[in-house]
Amino acid sequence: MSSIDFETELSETEQAVQETVHRFAEEVLRPVGQELDKMPDPQQTIDDDSAVWPALKKYAELGINTLGADDTGLSPVENARLSAIIHEEMGWGDAGLAMVMTAQGGGIVTWLANISGKAELISRYGGSDLSEFGCWAITEPDHGSDTLALNQPTFNDPEITANCIAVKDGDEYVIRGQKSSWVSGAPIATVMALYCTIEGNRGFEGGGIAVVPLNLPGVSKGKPLNKLGQRSMTQGEVFFDEVRIPADYMIVDQDAYKMALQGTLTMANSWMATTFAGVARSAFDLANAYSKERIQGGKPICEHQSVKLRLFDMFRKVETASTFARKVSTINNGTDRGQLHYAIAAKTYSTRVAFDVASEALQIFGGNGLTKEYPMEKILRDARASMIEDGCNEVLSIVGAEDL
Ligand SMILES: Cc1cc2nc3c(=O)[nH]c(=O)nc-3n(C[C@H](O)[C@H](O)[C@H](O)COP(=O)(O)OP(=O)(O)OC[C@H]3O[C@@H](n4cnc5c(N)ncnc54)[C@H](O)[C@@H]3O)c2cc1C
């Protein structure tokens, strides 16, 4: 049970959504995430017979993909509060599936389509149904942190050459190059929010943001990435060989790029914060339950003082991460007072807490925690990845500090 259960101000809708998503997390996300995690070849996780497909279908049927969509009928604050609840419960179920379903599945492409003002893009990508599957590509083989460190001197250094460049050609843009193997959801995505450099002499600052359908001629994909954590989330590189898009698919141009990237990072870090508060809570819940069952020294281990203290310390961290993440999510996504440094503080805090609490939880499981028979080692690996995901925590903190 989390403190969210005691929030008297939760509306009936919020309570109902929380219960529904928690059930989905327990009955679908957790078992499917564990099954995908154990597959030795990441290609298996997206083969036709993979459990990921029915899970995605069930997620779509829940109708909770409200992020960024214009057709939900919710106020921005209502949307932000629900989003925080949804992210936390889904993170509790499975980090990788939570990320691929919420942030990549509908988030950034939907938001871009809606701000484009272009009827064709809005009708195809702007709603909350999941018939199109989005991904977000900003990092490149030679540029990870560089692409995100938007208030550092390197950001406008024209000497640093991007791996993916868009060139204006009449009423089209031609895209050449590639994005990194870390693009979440790319192997199954049908559309991409592409953050890339536009030809010129402004470095990363002179970027643009385009909606790129991934069935266009010249687009190809690499093999799904084999990695340590969040193995249930498929990731892979995308190549562009003279790919042509209409010029008005470039939704954000060079002059607005930095501001739009700041907005994206504010949004993405808020989502990460709530999701990994949920991951931390899952580790705590499992360790708490285990400590009541495991008998050592003639009594359940929860009756040993050092275990009690460890559990209480974990509980305190989970509750502070969850409360802070939800507050920041509401400020940043629900009002026009979006603040990047708050989002970064919440992301770096929540992901660190998720890793620390998962590590403490594994200790409570003793040797069992290290085995694949028990869920802890997977949660620890999933949490470890989050401290690099959407920006290394150190680099994000440097960016956040600049914003104070
Ligand atoms: C689970 C996961 C999901 C991801 N999803 C996506 C996605 O959907 N789309 C996408 O485009 N990318 C995605 N990424 C990529 C992610 O954003 C990058 O991995 C991250 O920004 C770090 O880049 P890098 O891996 O190239 O590390 P590098 O930038 O090479 O950094 C290596 C080390 O150097 C340090 N460092 C680098 N620069 C500085 C600096 N200026 N000051 C101080 N220290 C520095 C870093 O802290 C780090 O410890 C994902 C990554 C992960 C792990």
- CATH number for the domain that contains residue 27: 1.10.540.10
Q: Is 187 helix (H, G, I), strand (E, B) or coil?
A: helix
Nearest-CA residue for atom 40 of ligand 1: 395
Q: What's the CA-to-centroid distance between 31 and ligand 1, angstroms?
A: 29
Q: Is 230 in the pocket of ligand 1 (CB under 6 A)?
A: yes
Tokens of residue 114, six digits: 């809606």
279 Cα to the center of ligand 1, angstroms: 21
pLDDT tens readout for residues 124-142: 988 777 788 999 999 999 9
Per the structure, the complete domain to which residue 266 belongs is given by 258-402
**Long-range contacts, stretch 336-340, CB < 8 angstroms, 24+ apart:** 338/263, 338/266, 338/267, 339/266, 339/403, 340/262, 340/265, 340/266, 340/269, 340/399, 340/400, 340/403
Q: Residue 403: what pLDDT?
A: 81
Secondary structure of 333-369 in the HEC alphabet? HHCCCCCHHHHHHHHHHHHHHHHHHHHHHHHHHCHHH
Question: 125, 155, 173: which is the final residue of a domain?
Answer: 125
Confidence (pLDDT) at 219: 98
Residue that terminates a domain, selected from 194, 224, 255 = 255
Q: What is the pLDDT of residue 108?
A: 87
Cβ–Cβ under 8 Å, residues 259 and 196: no
Are 9 and 67 members of one domain?
yes
- pLDDT score, position 71: 60
Domain identity same for 172 and 117: no
Report the alpha-carbon distance of residue 68 to residue 296 in Å, rounded. 50
Burial class (CB in 10 A: 0-12, 13-18, 19+), 176: middle
87 and 32 within one domain: yes
- Please tell me whether residues 72 and 149 are part of one structural domain: no
Mutate-to-test residue for ligand 1 from 139, 204, 352, highest number of ligand atoms within 8 A of CB = 139
Residue segments in the chain with a per-residue pLDDT below the cut of 70? 1-8, 66-72, 104-106, 337
Cα–Cα dist 354/387, whole Å: 9
- Residues 117, 27 within the same domain: yes
Same domain? For 10 and 145 the reply is no
pTM of the full structure: 0.96
Same domain for 217 and 273, yes or no, is no
Contact of 388 with 335, CB cutoff 8 Å: no
Pick the residue whose CA is nearest to atom 30 on ligand 1. 144
Minimum CA distance residue for ligand 1 atom 15: 182
**Ligand 1 near 184 CB (within 6 A):** yes
Task: Tell me the residue length of the chain.
Answer: 404
Q: Is the CB of 122 under 6 A from ligand 1?
A: no
Q: What is the CATH number of the domain that holds 190?
A: 2.40.110.10
Helix 340-365 and helix 393-402, axial crossing angle in degrees, nearest 10: 150
Q: Is the CB of 391 under 6 A from ligand 1?
A: yes
Burial of 199 (0-12, 13-18, 19+ CB in 10 A): middle
Whether 142 lines ligand 1, by a CB cut-off of 6 Å, is no
Q: CA-CA distances (angstroms) from residue 123 to 99, 113, 293, 356? A: 24, 8, 53, 43
Question: Do residues 135 and 71 lie in contact, with contact meaning Cβ atoms separated by under 8 Å?
Answer: no
113 shares its domain with 192: no
Find the farthest-apart pair of alpha carbons in the chain and give their distance in angstroms, rounded. Answer: 79
Write down the pLDDT at residue 134. 92
Please provide residue 92's backbone torsions phi and psi, each rounded to the nearest 5 degrees. -60, -35
For the chain, helix (H) and strand (E) counts, in that order, are: 14, 10
Q: What's the 252 CA to ligand 1 centre distance in angstroms? A: 23
Tokens linked to 125:
């990508």
Alpha-carbon separation of residue 90 from 129, 183, 324, 335 (angstroms):
18, 20, 17, 23
Question: In this structure, what CATH number is given to the domain that contains residue 367?
Answer: 1.20.140.10
Ligand 1 and 140: CB distance under 6 A: no
Any ligand 1 atom below 6 A from CB of 137: yes
Structural domain total, the chain: 3
What was the pLDDT predicted at 8?
60
Stated as kind and residue range, the H or E segment containing 314 is: helix 305-334
pLDDT of res. 67: 54
pLDDT at 66: 54
Q: Which two tokens stand for residue 373?
A: 């028979």
Q: Are 198 and 297 within one domain?
A: no
- pLDDT tens, residue by residue, 8-31: 678 888 999 999 999 999 999 999
Query: Is the torsion defined by CA of 266, 140, 38, 381 positive or negative?
Result: negative
Same domain assignment for residues 149 and 42: no
Which domain-ending residue is among 237, 255, 273?
255
Structure tokens at 294: 């495991």
Say whether both 35 and 103 belong to one domain: yes
